[in-house]
Amino acid sequence: MSAVIESDHHDHHHGPAKGLMRWVLTTNHKDIGSMYLWFSFIMFLIGGTMALIIRAELFEPGMQIVKPEFFNQMTTMHGLIMVFGAVMPAFVGLANWLIPMMVGAPDMALPRMNNWSFWILPFAFGLLLSTLFMDGGGPNFGWTFYAPLSTTYAPPSVTFFIFAVHMMGVSSIMGAINVIATILNLRAPGMTYMKMPLFVWTWLITAFLLIAVMPVLAGVVTMMLMDIHFGTSFFNAEGGGDPVLFQHVFWFFGHPEVYIMILPAFGIASAIIPTFSRKPLFGYPSMVYATASIAILSFIVWAHHMFTVGLPLAGELFFMYATMLIAVPTGVKIFNWVATMFRGSLTFETPMLFSIAFVILFTIGGFSGLMLAIAPVDFQYHDTYFVVAHFHYVLVPGAIFSIFAAAYFWLPKWTGHMYNETLGKVHFWMSFIGLNLTFFPMHFVGLAGMPRRIPDYALQFADFNQISSVGAFIFGTTQLLFLFIVIQCIRGGKKASAQVWEGADGLEWTLPSPAPYHSFAQPPVIK
Amino acid sequence: MKPSKLLRLPAVLACLGVASAHAAWQTNLTPGVTEVGESVYQLHMIIFWICVAIGVVVFGVMFWSIINHRKSKGAKPAQFHESTTVEILWTIIPFVILIAMAVPATGTLIKMYDASDAAVDIKVTGYQWKWKYDYLNEEVGFFSNLSTSQDQIYNRDEKGENYLLEVDEPLVIPVGKKVRFLVTANDVIHSWWVPDLAVKRDAIPGFVNEAWTQAEKVGVYRGQCAELCGKDHGFMPIVVKVVSEPEYKEWVLAKQEVARQEYELKNKEWTLDELMTRGEKTYGTYCAGCHQPDGAGLPPAFPALKGSQIAKGPIESHADIVLHGKAGTAMQAFASQLNEVDIAAVVTYERNAWGNSMGDMLTPQQVAAMKNK
């Protein structure tokens, strides 16, 4: 603790600058982390509004609110903004706040680059959102932007979309480099790899995934750019190109990408569940190995998104088997969390509620994932609402719930105040009900034969779609409550102790609440 | 979701799964009318029940802890935190379960990939936003367009029973015969999907994909394009009529006769009124989706034809755009999609409808001459 007191003393001279320039010029991991989190929340609201436009149109059969071409822009932008603008920056924000505190470092290893990787984002998304106001409209080819719909047949704004994706990629790669440099170099003496908290481990693995696949994304959008403006034919069959090549390259990025959005969530659940079970995490080493296995497997399963493109039989079988294999390490993680809760001493504060819901609902998303892995059956599921239900079950209660859990769990450490527990629980239950009302019926309409990405549908799908739309509005409006809770917590509330939670374990809890501006000026002593 | 809900789900599925394919509240996959569809359905149900069983065990233990190991009930935490035996066990058991799932799945997949010895070969081509069917050995070919009216879609008219799942000309195949589909596309990627036939194959420009079905029951089966293909992706349904063998033969003969008559129409002398009548119909099917029934278009992507420079300019360049499309825009080439009579009719219609009153007309013979140039 002496280290901490000294850093407090330094704060007097090296505290944050005043005014707007503090945020523009900051190299502090906490300031940058906060900016990432706020940015992500704004994107979450924008992407969410788009989802509500979609659900409002789908409330009943017939075209009521938007035109089909605008509907396509909404589905595309909703996906892009949620993936690249809401989930990924939120995890980078959490990494910024937490990794230095968890490994006993004063700050991130590359603070100036940290500033730059954040400040690229508002421009990237400003560019992306501006396409909605251009002639011909914004991107309308789905977040997976399959060629040639996204090249030969795309609106002119596709060029801006390509540059926006490039900027997001640069930001992500720099963020990943920073995470790796911090974890490899700035661990306090005695913080061996197998002592690192799982959030740090999962982020280390995520960062390597990012560095491996973001350049692939950059490559594929560059090939699009060449096809559109420089007369090449990478994806144009008339010129000897191959539209399926696009999908191979895209999903070689895309599948690791979905694990990029879930591995840090595993780390969060592995911090919160032991805390509120008052019992150490069960099977720590197996958790590390399982995470690494999932990451490695994620590179050899990409074509399970393409079972219907006409792969040869051997290819279908290979990708089916490899995909099914992912269920093994994922299962190990679920079993470990349940074993951690078993014979613990459980309490159910908001972070724990979100984490338990995460485990249950993510498992349901995993089950539907396993079903989708079976190639012959996938022919019936592919591109239906069953798939929409599947990936929303892994992303909303998976990524988003874990982010909420993390926010409630560490807010007292960040702000020095406890949040309002009752309101937190209301937020949880409203989100939980809204989410299941929205996404569970999608399994049914998908199995009954409703394709995804359609602005209007046949009459037999009407009832479940209405339920989904009602659920979506419950879920969406509830998130304003979260905004209120966070602002209330920043402005005041019951003082938080350093330990905050009875069962909390880890270096960040040895720092006072709120944590000092520079986390560990002197390395802490690791037991 | 609570486990109680999860436990209720299979019961709901069991009750409703057998309901007819188009009943509301349908909650499960259809077994369809093919042997492959039936084995796909069986696989789906096996995997579903395995997942339910795993879910019951895992969530059972979890909820046991949630109920009994609460701090408020005075639970004292145990301190165990690892067991290599347990870890190995719960790695191996799921692995074995997966192998048990993979074996039947492999069998079904191999069956689906065997398209040999088909009795009928049909080339299926995806267009923005319609399907074209060519019977390769019968020399029959036609387009299949959505027949639901814009009035129904925009809520000006009551929606029919098969809203959005009806076409002007369905695909017709014989019952009990193996039918092979050669699936491709003309512009962007589409996906040809009929749940009851257990066929979904992407239609990709530059590729010819193979799929097959053998329907065991006479009836009408409906599906939709499954791959996002632009503005009217939701408006290009598939309707397959499975008929008895004699009925199928009769249908083929009738189609061949119609084709002969159409061919003869090309040489007939057409009047402006005749062309206008036919043009209105063709325009409604092929052009109104983008340029709108009143010719107002949806600028900027789909320009207005009412009062446009093209519709009121030289007739040759107007016809040229309809025949060959306009590069860099959404305007397609219709030379291969419409016959000479329809092209002549639609150009004539566009020049004389909505107050464009040019008074001139294009004849099928002129179109034929332009095509041969």
- The answer on pLDDT for B4 being more than 70 is no
The full set of domains in chain B, from first to last, is 35-112 (no CATH), 117-262 (2.60.40.420), 268-372 (1.10.760.10)
With bands split at pLDDT 50, 70 and 90, how would you rate the model's confidence at B17? very low
- The answer on pLDDT for B79 being more than 70 is yes
- pLDDT for residue B24: 66
The CA distance from B2 to B139, in Å, is: 58
- pLDDT for residue B10: 46
Tens digit of each residue's pLDDT (9 = 90 or more) over B36-53 = 999 999 999 999 999 999
B371 touches chain A (CB under 8 A): no
Q: Is A201 a catalytic residue?
A: no
What percent of chain B stands above pLDDT 70? 93
Q: Is A259 a catalytic residue?
A: yes
Tens digit of each residue's pLDDT (9 = 90 or more) over B212-236 = 999 999 999 999 999 999 999 999 9
pTM: 0.89
Contact A360 B23 (CB under 8 A): no
CB B352 within 8 A of CB B272: yes
The CA distance from A455 to A45, in Å, is: 22
The CA distance from A87 to B332, in Å, is: 39
ipTM higher than the 0.85 cut: yes
Tens digit of each residue's pLDDT (9 = 90 or more) over A191-207 = 999 999 999 999 999 99
Which of B29, B77, B155 has the CB atom closest to A345's CB atom?
B77
Average pLDDT over chain B reads 89
For chain B, positions 105-164, list CB contacts with chain A under 8 A.
105-106, 108-110, 112-113, 128, 152-155, 159, 161-164
For chain A, positions 315-344, list CB contacts with chain B under 8 A.
316-317, 320-321, 324-325, 327-328, 331-332, 334-335, 338-344
With bands split at pLDDT 50, 70 and 90, how would you rate the model's confidence at B262? confident
Q: What is the mean pLDDT of residues B56-80?
A: 93
CB A235 within 8 A of CB A147: yes
CA angle A497, A106, A523 (to 5 degrees): 85
Q: How many helices (H) and strands (E) does chain B have?
A: 10, 10
Which of A62, A317, A383 has the CB atom closest to B154's CB atom?
A62
- pLDDT for residue B8: 46
- pLDDT for residue A13: 52
- Under 8 Å CB-to-CB from A352, ≥6 apart: which residues? A272, A273, A275, A276, A346, A405
Which chain B residues contact residue A440 at CB under 8 A? 1, 5
Instruction: Give B119: exposed, middle or buried? Use CB within 10 Å, 0-12, 13-18, 19+.
Output: middle
The CA distance from A193 to A99, in Å, is: 13
**Two structure tokens written together for B144:** 């299949």
- pLDDT for residue B5: 44
For chain B, positions 203-222, list CB contacts with chain A under 8 A.
204-207, 209-210
Region class of B249: left (phi > 0), else alpha (psi between -120 and 50), else beta? alpha
Q: Is A8 a catalytic residue?
A: no
Residues of chain A with pLDDT under 50: 1-12
Which residue from A minimizes the CA distance to B50?
A367
- pLDDT for residue B18: 39
B365 touches chain A (CB under 8 A): no
A151 touches chain B (CB under 8 A): no
B75 touches chain A (CB under 8 A): yes
Which of B43, B65, B193 has the CB atom closest to A376's CB atom?
B43
3-state secondary structure of B183: strand
| Chains A–B, number of C-beta pairs less than 8 Å apart | 299
Tens digit of each residue's pLDDT (9 = 90 or more) over B136-146 = 998 899 999 99
Q: Is A143 a catalytic residue?
A: yes
- pLDDT for residue B340: 87
Exactly one of A26, A171, A275, A323 is catalytic; which is it? A171
